[in-house]
Chain A
Amino acid sequence: MLIKRPSDIKPSEITDPETYAKRREFLKAAAALGVGGLIGGPVSALVTPSGQGVPMRGLVDTTHGDGLALTSYDDITSYNNFYEFGTGKEDPARYAHQLKTRPWSVVVDGECEAPGTIDIEEILKRFPQEERIYRLRCVEAWAMVVPWVGFPLSSLLSRFKPTSKAKYVAFETLVDPQQMPGQKRAVLDWPYREGLRMDEAMHPLTILGTGLYGELMPNQNGAPLRLVVPWKYGFKSIKSIVRISFTFNQPTTTWWESAPHEYGFYANVNPEVDHPRWSQARHRMIGEGLFSRKHPTLMFNGYADQVADLYRGMDLTKFY
């Protein structure tokens, strides 16, 4: 794999080693206190765990997201869209403890030579777990910066040997109204389904998330396994995955089904293409307070250098 230096590091952000070390200690302490959102600057060591979850050992540090100020653990875990637990932002934190994440396995099937099932413990053991700090931009015009733990989706997909007919990858969330009380109401057509084009799925930025803040994924954030596609609106990053299928045709996706003119299959973050009911040009950073200014939204959520090629020649107002 070709590793390019991420374009989101400006030369001005590269500091001399001594200052850097001092600042790193400070930032780690700040992140632990949950005030990380207030301070910018590069953090390259692993993020300090929140102390509220199950710590993950042997994590691999990466440069992804160096220089981004983290959203606090409390905000990341208490402000969620996860309709399986209710449509309120606080509902997932309130009800997600009912979800049993062990045992958990994922079925992989469809257009591949070696369909099968893979257990979450095997996933955690077999794939080196990396820390990647990504921006998360919700379609509702708010954003966070999350220190995810995960591994490239491509490394899981290739194990199942997709055939040449595999043009897309479809994902499904668990359906169990006993564990997911929000599914007792037909707010959406359960199971929640999402999909990616094959090249999007194989892209090195696309990961399967297994944790955040150095700890196993909290239930409300999509435990035990979720998708993270940082250049797309948050709803693409499907949570609590139980099935992954290679398909020839473009899969139907839940939000597209619910409101096709509002939530497209691609759902790339794009400040120039408005949601029919609100502008996508700016967003609010979670944790910045009542009187904070909004921030301009970047094309592909700031990952244009890495992903714009995937969409060359496409009319992004049509394929929103």
Chain B
Amino acid sequence: MFVFSADAWMRFVAKPLIFLVCLVPFGLLFYGALIGDLGPNPVERVTDITGQWGLRFLLLTLAISPMRRLTGWIWLLRFRRMLGLFVFFYISLHFLTWLWLDQELIWGNVIADIAKRPFVTFGFAAWLLLLPLTVTSTRGMMRRLGRNWQRLHRAIYAIAILGVLHYIWLVKADLLQPLIYASVLASLLLVRWKPQWLRRSTQANSLANAR
């Protein structure tokens, strides 16, 4: 009987499967566009869906390492790059929808919008910051950049904060949705800092106990 090694299982089954799952929101949009079933205002629908999925994948990417710590499942880390690249994929679709279908490639307006309107500035800055992360996502680049790779990829926190602010800023009155994203992001950032506090407070406690 042929038995898959754990590595082969990951490479030939798990990863392609997750890849396809990540493509489902895009597939649904594409199908909706083909049959003309994206509602009365399709441009608004596409902008909204691509932006939301970009943010969701971003939060999912940030959740990988706390989840690994919580569960001890090291294999989770092997999906992180793919999820990160899907952030770039969905945010780029979001950006292109805005640039092409909303702004209609009228460059004067595009530049004015980026300069004048803070929520556009924030969104655009987030997309720009995603570019170097995407380009340096390969193993070769990781090796070449060494310690700087990790420094560079800390930009993901800035991107997440910009993205959530971009969303908060653009809604008219109902902040419920963007605040859900904001609180998920806040908790993900908190669990990253918490070990240090814990370390400090446990140290202080043990010192106090010793006395």
Contact = CB atoms under 8 A, between A and B. Distances in A.
B173 A278 contact: no
A87 B119 CA distance: 20
Contact of A290 (B33, B169, B172, B174): B33
B209 interface: no
B27 interface: no
B46 to A, nearest CB: 7
Contacts of A287: 40
A284 B173 contact: no
Contacts of B176: 87, 185
Contacts of B44: 142, 284
B68 interface: no
Given A277-B117, A290-B101, A83 B173 contact: yes
Contacts of B36: 289-290
Contacts of B43: 284, 290
Contacts of A90: 39
A291 B101 contact: yes
Nearest to B171: A87
Contacts of A293: 104
Contacts of B46: 290
Given A279-B109, A279-B113, A187 B40 contact: no
A33 interface: no
B42 interface: yes
B119 A277 contact: yes
A290 B119 CA distance: 23
Given A277-B119, A278-B117, A293-B104, A78 B40 contact: yes
The binding surface of chain A is classed by DSSP as loop
Q: Give the most central of B33, B36, B42: most A CB within 10 Å.
A: B42
Interface in B160-211: 169-170, 172-174, 176
B5 interface: no
A286 B44 CA distance: 11
A160 interface: no
Interface string B115-156: 001010000000000000000000000000000000000000
A183 to B, nearest CB: 13
Given A142-B41, A289-B42, A258 B117 contact: no
B60 interface: no
B173 A188 contact: yes
A140 B101 CA distance: 16
Contacts of A185: 174, 176
A75 B169 CA distance: 28
A185 B173 CA distance: 11
B169 to A, nearest CB: 7
A79 interface: yes
Contacts of A258: 173
8 nearest A-B residue pairs (beta carbon): A79-B40, A87-B174, A290-B42, A75-B40, A286-B40, A187-B174, A187-B173, A258-B173
Interface of A: 74-75, 78-79, 83, 87, 89-90, 140, 142, 185, 187-188, 258-259, 276-279, 284, 286-287, 289-291, 293-294
Interface of B: 33, 36, 38-44, 46, 101, 104, 109, 113, 117, 119, 169-170, 172-174, 176
29 contacts: A74-B40, A78-B39, A79-B40, A83-B173, A83-B174, A87-B172, A87-B174, A87-B176, A89-B39, A89-B40, A140-B172, A187-B173, A187-B174, A188-B173, A259-B172, A277-B117, A277-B169, A277-B170, A278-B117, A279-B109, A279-B113, A284-B41, A284-B43, A284-B44, A287-B40, A290-B33, A290-B36, A290-B38, A294-B104
